[in-house]
Structure 1
Amino acid sequence: MPHSIKTAISLPEDLMKRVERLRASAGINRSQFFLRALQTYIEEFPETGEEKIASIYRQIRETDKKLLDHFGRHSYKNLPPYEK
């Protein structure tokens, strides 16, 4: 295993009891259990740079639509003439 980093987390007692039962039945230690759980979670829910960008653009599109809906009825034709 490459270099590891220790971390501490706080879990609800009932969740930790469940973790202990599951890891004991699997015959693995806590570190192995949490490592596998995190790897599974990350593999199941990957978010690449492209997906992040797409998400941001979706948010921008929604914001633009809301702005257009709100201000669209105020046409440039209703603005006073431009004076230099």
Structure 2
Amino acid sequence: MKTAVSIPDDLFKTAEKTAKRLGIPRSQLFARALEEFIKFHSKESITERLNRIYRKENNISKENSDDLSVEILRKSLKNDSW
């Protein structure tokens, strides 16, 4: 599909040089860049959604989580002889 976009002159010049260096058409460079941008933001979005789910599920603050970790460590070392 053909489309028209406006980009700053400096970015266009850099894209032109990059496409030549890679030996690919400029339109292919733009398509690859857009694909990578979309993938990056999709992963970011998925991670953020998972983080929200786990925060809700666990409902444990950072401080409580640290306290809980220390308590578990103490219990696991209770019968350890040093």
String of CA shifts for 1:21-68, please: whole Å, max 9, x gaps.
1110000001110110011001111146xx5xx7xxxxxxxxxxxxxx
Gaps of 5+ in 2: 53-82
**Greater fraction helix:** 2
Aligned to 2:55: none
What's the TM-score, normalizing by structure 2?
Answer: 0.51
1:2-21 alignment, distance < 5 Å:
5-21=1-17
Larger Cα-atom Rg = 1
Point out which structure has higher relative CO (alpha carbons under 8 A, 6+ apart). Answer: 2
The one-letter code of the counterpart of 1:22 is T
Question: 1:22 & 1:14 partners in 2: Cα distance?
Answer: 12
Structure 1 unaligned residues grouped into runs of 5+: 55-84
* Number of aligned residues: 47
In 2, distance between residues paired with 1:8 and 1:21? 20
What TM-score, normalized by structure 1, do the two folds share? 0.49
Give the percent of matched residue pairs that are identical in Structure 1 and Structure 2: 41
